[in-house]
Amino acid sequence: MSVLVAGAGPAGLLVAAELALAGVGVRVVDRLPARSAFCRGFTLNARSLELLDRRGLAGRFLAEGPTVPFTMFADPSRPLDLTTLASDHPYVLGIPQTRTEELLEQWLAELGVPVEWGHEVVGLRAGDTGVDVTLAPGGTVRADYLVGCDGSRSTVRKLAGIGFPGTDATRFGLLADVELADPEALPFGMTTGVDGTVFAIPRPGYLRVVIDEPHPPEDRDTPVTLDYFQRQLDRVLGYRVELRAPRWLSRFSDAARQADRYVAGRVMLAGDAAHVHPPAGAVGVNVALADAMNLGWKLAATVRGHAPAGLLGTYDDERRSSGAVVLRTTRAQSVLGDPDPRLDPVRELLAELAALPQVNDYLVELVTGVGTRYDMGVPGEHPWLGRLVPDLGLVVDGEPTSLARLLRPGRPVLLWFAERPPRVPGTVVLCRAECPVHPGIEGILVRPDGFAAWISTAADPQPQSTLDAALATWCAPPPSLAG
Ligand SMILES: Cc1cc2nc3c(=O)[nH]c(=O)nc-3n(C[C@H](O)[C@H](O)[C@H](O)COP(=O)(O)OP(=O)(O)OC[C@H]3O[C@@H](n4cnc5c(N)ncnc54)[C@H](O)[C@@H]3O)c2cc1C
């Protein structure tokens, strides 16, 4: 087996699918006996939908729930407008995380890889040529690479000795998926009580109730019982709203930590295993998918032997700096959510700023990840360079198509709109295309994850040497095809 993926959450499922798509042998194990029925997240954002679109999958997800053209930064009462977001999907999709995972698992099964439930990673020994991974049950198996997608308490991260520096929790919250004895007793949205606020979010067949927990027990792993949650809710409200039929009771915090390496030799981390942050903005699934999409094709090229030197290292560079932005953004929102009245002037000022279109646009690019720009190491002034290229409408061989469609096989694509196309390595799809909406573009090298690695335009022409440099950085040819 080439790659073992630990964890069948969003990160593990997508990274495994990317590997399978590239023809790499992959196993996915998860310690749970079956997918958990508890649903944590309920959203997919613009960036996730764009990425899923590059594999022809967005439609499956969009069929599952409503979309809303707004998101938030810190203050749920002042939504940010997404309609001006430079995205193919300028909205948030409401979809239970469990359903997202089911759809990803289905995609993985279509690619021939079943999830192996009930197998926990309990040991690993990484060497220069592979990783010996101990599974319980299952014994020791050998993989060329191990990807730890095993969540915030990642065993893989700990066993690999990867540091997880950051800040400890200072604020705690409680969450209860419950029903109300009297359905009218608590309105949806925010209710201000005598000792804090209550958020009541309608979910299919139940209510998610979220409150602060100013004095958590010494042992933060103490299970949250319905009785305990009821008492905390009564305290916040100052009156009793009777809860019943608990489905899931949980505690969360504003702890923020990030792995000090995402790649440690033959062991990699993605998703919550690599970063934890305050829940503000509900982005964890989305960041996990962005990690997976960035890692998958790079690891696949490495396994298949045609990766340029250092390609895996760019996963570490790109996603660790993106993760740092997520930590900063969620921490900022968490601070702004502190009920301390001394923060009121800051909140008011931010609300005034966010009402300005430019600030709105800046914030929505930040919280959705749509503003993500990687350093491609080549010159160029085009605004798409280093960013996800929009799903361009194209004409190829007289037939209409689109960039997202061309990217479905997960290979790099050189779109060439001018005369005399260059020679490219055999791993790259060279596509002579017309792009009626953007007639000034001469060529774009698009990585398998949809990011522009090189662009030449009539206004900003780039010499062949810069294209060669980009090809050598992202898509070196297999030795048999070199030269
Ligand atoms: C209450 C709550 C609400 C949230 N709401 C949202 C939201 O609306 N939108 C959003 O984007 N994000 C949300 N999040 C965050 C989101 O749930 C996580 O960020 C996301 O699940 C991370 O995905 P992952 O694949 O990295 O890890 P996980 O989903 O945690 O998956 C890790 C998997 O690894 C398995 N595993 C663990 N240890 C081992 C082992 N040793 N061996 C094998 N398998 C193992 C686990 O069983 C699990 O299946 C929310 C989180 C919480 C707690």
The tens digit of pLDDT for each residue in 282-309 reads: 899 999 999 999 999 999 999 999 999 9
Whether the predicted pLDDT of 166 surpasses 90: yes
Which ligand 1 atom sits nearest the alpha carbon of residue 32? 47
Whether the predicted pLDDT of 479 surpasses 90: no
Of 97, 249, 287, the residue with max ligand 1 atoms within 8 A of its CB, to mutate for a pocket test, comes to: 97
**Residues 125 and 262 reside in one and the same domain:** yes
Q: Whose CA is nearest to atom 51 of ligand 1?
A: 40
The last residue of one of the domains, among 253, 275, 300, is 253
pLDDT band at 230 (very low <50, low <70, confident <90, very high): very high
Which ligand 1 atom sits nearest the alpha carbon of residue 35? 49
Dist. CA 149 → ligand 1 center (Å): 9
Quick check: 317 and 377 in contact, CB under 8 A? Answer: no
Identity at 347, one-letter amino acid code = R
pLDDT band at 35 (very low <50, low <70, confident <90, very high): very high
Dist. CA 9 → ligand 1 center (Å): 6
Mean pLDDT computed over 215-236: 95
**Residues 214 and 240 reside in one and the same domain:** yes
Q: What is the pLDDT of residue 439?
A: 87
Residue 376 placed within a domain: no
Which ligand 1 atom sits nearest the alpha carbon of residue 150? 34
CB of residue 120 inside a 6 A radius of ligand 1: yes
Strand partners for 59: none
**Domain of 281: which CATH number?**
3.50.50.60
Residue 381 placed within a domain: no
pLDDT-wise least confident of 284-288, 355-359, 425-429 = 425-429
Quick check: 53 and 139 in contact, CB under 8 A? Answer: no
Q: What is the pLDDT of residue 480?
A: 41
Domain that holds residue 468: 393-481
Residue 115 placed within a domain: yes
**Residues 268 and 138 reside in one and the same domain:** yes
CB of residue 43 inside a 6 A radius of ligand 1: yes
Of 5, 13, 30, the residue with max ligand 1 atoms within 8 A of its CB, to mutate for a pocket test, comes to: 30
**Residues 191 and 116 reside in one and the same domain:** no
The last residue of one of the domains, among 222, 253, 284, is 253
Question: Coil, strand, or helix at residue 71?
Answer: strand
Strand partners for 264: 267
**Residues 137 and 204 reside in one and the same domain:** no
CA distance 156 to 263: 12
Q: What is the pLDDT of residue 481?
A: 43
Of 28, 40, 291, the residue with max ligand 1 atoms within 8 A of its CB, to mutate for a pocket test, comes to: 40
**Residues 266 and 207 reside in one and the same domain:** no
- Taking Cα atoms as reference points, which of 402, 403, 412 lies closest to residue 472? 412
The helix (H) or strand (E) run that includes residue 368 is helix 357-368
Q: Whose CA is nearest to atom 4 of ligand 1?
A: 41
**Number of domains present in the structure of the chain:** 3
Q: What is the pLDDT of residue 477?
A: 55
Percent of the chain whose predicted confidence (pLDDT) is above 90? 92
- Taking Cα atoms as reference points, which of 480, 475, 143, 129 lies closest to residue 309? 475
Which ligand 1 atom sits nearest the alpha carbon of residue 274? 26
What does pLDDT average to over the chain?
95
**Residues 321 and 268 reside in one and the same domain:** yes
Mean pLDDT computed over 352-373: 97
CB of residue 6 inside a 6 A radius of ligand 1: yes
Of 13, 18, 29, 31, the residue with max ligand 1 atoms within 8 A of its CB, to mutate for a pocket test, comes to: 31
Residue 378 placed within a domain: no
